[in-house]
Amino acid sequence: MALTMAKTYWHLQSERRVPRDYEVVSSRLVYHPRMGLAIETPVKRWYAEYLGDSRFVSPDWERFSDPLETTYTSYVERRHEHESFVDHLIISAGRDRRDRSFDPEWIAKLDGVFGPLRYPCHALLMCAAYVGQLAPASRITIAAMFQAADELRRIQGFARRLGQLQELRPELGLRARESWELDPIWQPMRELLETLLVTYDWGESFVALQLVVKPHFEDLLLAFRELGLVAGDHTLYELVGAYAEDARWHRAWSDALIRSTLVQGSQGSQSARAIGGWLESWSRRTEASVLAFAPVFESAHGSIPFERLVDGARGRAARAQVELGLGVEKPK
């Protein structure tokens, strides 16, 4: 009697086609959702409480697929092009004399806003890493960990630019930690991110980070980018815009995950209710953290109406929730 050998990627046979590279290298790499953790340790109890007991559930987490089907190879290829652009941008800025012509008001804004940016960006990195570490499926882990890598790349890019500016003005950014810990514009944001860092429930951490906190933070950066353009800081404008491309992918894969979980049945309804509650809770705090930056836009460089930017961010968030089936758009 002949034996039929199981194929290496037997779990993909139901597709009845040759699997794509992404499917092969990203599927069922995380064993603990199916097999559990064998040894009684605090880590096992952590996973049981903060992942297993989360109200964000799915009948099959493997339904999720990254819209860009990101693998290590494709990530490196795309980000290599991106980093080449950033390298060229910073090198060109070093040869340009525009930095010498910035007025004192813009230098003060760079010192108070751009200088401390490494702190919130590090928090976003750590939160993305936590989402990836605890994720119930390998494709989610892969996407979240590449997102954490993106955050690290942004921190490095901002640090390079800050170091470049310090060659002309050595005092710029030296008070960054003091600003982060004491400046009134940063305190609501600091409280928000520190709360997020100790939000251990995996579902709430994911929803708060990906659907609320990070999108608003990115909108705030884009607003500051526009302010930089008005001030003649074209390097800041291009640098922030370059990393905004990463943020669009972060939101795209997060939306895809939400859609894959909101299936018909009790689990889909349970997840929708949980997500709705988290969105409401985190949205209020996040908007308050953004509004604290209003004084930054009230100046000679403040030709960009800050309230309009906040309203725009609020509207985009509401539309995104409607598109994901998480709420009903309020009439104007």
Domain boundaries, the chain: 83-323
CA proximity to 139, closest of 209, 64, 207: 64
pLDDT tens-digit profile, the chain (332 residues): 454 545 555 555 555 555 667 777 667 677 777 667 777 888 888 988 999 899 999 888 988 999 999 999 999 999 999 999 999 999 998 888 778 889 899 999 999 999 999 999 999 999 999 999 999 999 999 999 999 999 999 999 999 999 999 998 999 999 999 999 999 999 999 999 999 999 999 999 999 999 999 999 999 999 999 999 989 999 999 999 999 999 999 999 999 999 988 875 556 678 888 999 999 999 999 999 999 999 998 765 556 667 777 777 777 777 777 777 775 434 33
Distance of alpha carbon 266 from its chain centroid, rounded?
A: 29
Q: Tell me how far apart the alpha carbons of residues 139 and 29 are, in angstroms, rounded to a whole number.
A: 8
Q: Does the domain spanning 83-323 belong to CATH 3.30.1490.20?
A: no
| Distances, alpha carbon 13 to alpha carbons 10, 31, 170, 178, in Å | 5, 19, 61, 57
**DSSP states of 8-67:** TTGGGGGG-SPPPHHHHHHSS---HHHH--SS--HHHHHHIIIIIT-S---S-GGG---T
